Amino acid sequence: MPEFSYKAIDKSGKQVTSFRYATDEASLENSLKSDGYWLIDASKASKTRKKVKVKVTRPMLIEFCISMSAMLGSGIGIVEAIHSVVEESDSEGFQTVLRDVAENIKSGNTLVSALEQYPNVFPEQMCNLINAAEYSGNLVEAFKEISDYLQWTEGLVKDVKQVSLYPTIVLIVVGVFILFLFTFVVPKFTALLNSVNVPLPLITEVVITISDTVQAYWYLFIIVPFGLVKLSQFCIKRFSHLALIADRIKLKLPIFGEVIKMLCLSKFTHNMAILTRSGIPILQSLSLCRNLVGNKVIADAILEAEAAVNQGRTMSEVFRSYSVFPPTLLRMMVIGEETGSLEKSLNHISGRYDDEIPRRIKKIMGILEPMIMVMLIGIVGTVVMAIFMPLMSLMGNVG
């Protein structure tokens, strides 16, 4: 069935430009009339037309899935349910996408094939769960499962931001303060010390040298860190072996490394539990999880596990050779594999991580706050000592 690009107006005279599948222009006009639109112009759409690129946030997808689960559960048809979500949505871009999805379904396509037309809007995991649900006829539970997963992901992202945002802001503030200290405060006292021509201790000379350097090249202290971050991001994205090294380093970082590992393993266990519960084959589930964990070390272990499962072995056999997987997780996986209740074991593990991660984050905050304060006090104290030591020496000579 061909796809048409059309312009139409509604009862209020508002013009709409969109796409719709129809056998010919006459059937397109009838289809639009049934929806309350009058056709102005139509032409066959290019087969290679680019789909609308729109920014859809996770909360928007959560609301979509919750609404779909509720409406389908009450007996409303898929197309009608999608149109109801369109009316409730505040995003014009998302409305356009959903209208196109509804038209695809009305034209005889499956829900999953319609969603797959927008990979930048509907993630691969979501499409796989919907695909499995369409075969089993359990779309209501699938949308509920997806909304629960997206809400869990949203909470996880907030936890990660909490870990990284606070120390980042504090370190930036401390950096700006130190830059101000060496650029404006120390030079004032340097001029005073030079005017009295007093011998300077080594610590004072070091502080003055740092101050002169910062004063002359202050812009480098802003540009260089920013440039290094961008360069490292580019290199990690461009070269896979550097990404592996970077992810290995992340897992071994003091203070943060353990939390990063727990976050990645939480993603793996949570996603594997959802996918296996939805009836998706274990090999496909592993392939999907590999792209969701966010760490190449763990992703490589999952890739090896895929090959092992394909040869009739178990995941736990492979994971034992990777130190990143803790003994508790391995024991629970072995029990799940032996008893045929892998989903329950994975759910239990992910639940433990959900409880443990917030506690670890609070612990990190408790460690970082005094560390940053001690660092700041040490720097300020050193500068104060460097300034007042020669002044005290001068006052002693005068006395």
Residue 73 domain flag: yes
Q: Is the pLDDT of residue 150 over 60?
A: yes
DSSP letter assigned to residue 187? H
Q: Would you place residue 274 in the very low, low, confident or very high pLDDT band (cuts 50, 70, 90)?
A: confident
- 47 vs 26 pLDDT, higher one: 26
Amino acid occupying residue 158: K
Residue 314's contacts (CB-CB under 8 Å, 6 or more residues apart) are 308, 333, 334, 337
Q: Is the pLDDT of residue 235 over 80?
A: yes
pLDDT of residue 80: 92
DSSP letter assigned to residue 324? T
Domain boundary at 95, 122, 149, which?
122
Structural tokens at position 323: 């130190």
Q: Would you place residue 291 in the very low, low, confident or very high pLDDT band (cuts 50, 70, 90)?
A: confident
Do 162 and 217 sit in the same domain of this protein? yes
DSSP letter assigned to residue 194? H
DSSP string, 163-186: HHHHHHHHHHHHHHHHHHIIIIIH
User: What is the average pLDDT across 295-308?
Assistant: 90
Residue 127 domain flag: no
Structural tokens at position 173: 């503030």
pLDDT of residue 46: 57
15: how many CB neighbours lie within 10 A of its CB?
Answer: 10
Q: Would you place residue 21 in the very low, low, confident or very high pLDDT band (cuts 50, 70, 90)?
A: low
User: What is the average pLDDT across 303-307?
Assistant: 89
**What pLDDT, in 10s, does the model give residues 31-82?**
778 777 788 888 776 554 445 567 888 999 999 999 999 999 999 999 999 9
Structural tokens at position 324: 């990143």
Mean pLDDT of the chain: 83
Range of the domain at 74: 58-122
Amino acid occupying residue 245: I
Domain boundary at 122, 150, 168, which?
122
Do 34 and 74 sit in the same domain of this protein? no
Cα 318 to Cα 323: distance, rounded to the nearest angstrom: 11
Do 216 and 191 sit in the same domain of this protein? yes
Which of helix, strand or coil describes residue 39? strand
Cα 115 to Cα 103: distance, rounded to the nearest angstrom: 11
User: What is the average pLDDT across 305-318?
Assistant: 87
Contact 262, 360 (CB under 8 A): yes
User: What is the average pLDDT across 210-226?
Assistant: 85
Residue 374 domain flag: yes
Do 113 and 262 sit in the same domain of this protein? no
Do 233 and 206 sit in the same domain of this protein? yes
Cα 283 to Cα 267: distance, rounded to the nearest angstrom: 17
Please list, residue by residue across 116-142, b when 16 or more beta carbons sit within 10 angstroms of its beta carbon and e when fewer do.
Answer: bebeebbbebbbbbbbbbbeeebbbbb
Residue 128 domain flag: no
pLDDT of residue 124: 82
Cα 246 to Cα 26: distance, rounded to the nearest angstrom: 59
Do 305 and 236 sit in the same domain of this protein? yes
| Total tally of structural domains belonging to the chain | 3
Do 176 and 66 sit in the same domain of this protein? no
pLDDT of residue 48: 45
Domain boundary at 68, 87, 122, which?
122
Do 285 and 390 sit in the same domain of this protein? yes
Do 336 and 291 sit in the same domain of this protein? yes
Q: Would you place residue 376 in the very low, low, confident or very high pLDDT band (cuts 50, 70, 90)?
A: confident
Residue 133 domain flag: no
Residue 135 domain flag: no
- 18 vs 66 pLDDT, higher one: 66
Residue 53 domain flag: no
Cα 276 to chain centroid distance, Å, stands at 23
Do 269 and 359 sit in the same domain of this protein? yes
Residue 53's contacts (CB-CB under 8 Å, 6 or more residues apart) are 120
Do 247 and 391 sit in the same domain of this protein? yes
pLDDT of residue 397: 59
pTM: 0.69
DSSP string, 55-80: ---HHHHHHHHHHHHHHHHTT--HHH
Cα 134 to Cα 294: distance, rounded to the nearest angstrom: 29
Q: Is the pLDDT of residue 241 over 60?
A: yes
Determine which of 34-38, 201-205, 334-338 has the lowest per-residue pLDDT on average. 34-38
**What pLDDT, in 10s, does the model give residues 71-113?**
999 999 999 999 999 888 888 889 888 988 888 888 777 888 8
Q: Give, to the nearest 10 degrees, the angle between helix 342-398 and helix 202-217.
A: 120
Do 245 and 353 sit in the same domain of this protein? yes
Cα 297 to Cα 261: distance, rounded to the nearest angstrom: 10
Alpha-carbon distances of 277 from 105, 236, 305, 391, rounded to whole Å: 26, 34, 19, 74
Number of helices followed by number of strands (H, E) in the chain: 17, 3
Residue 51 domain flag: no
Q: Which long-range contacts (CB under 8 A, 24 or more apart) does 239-242 make?
A: 240/296
Structural tokens at position 347: 């759910």
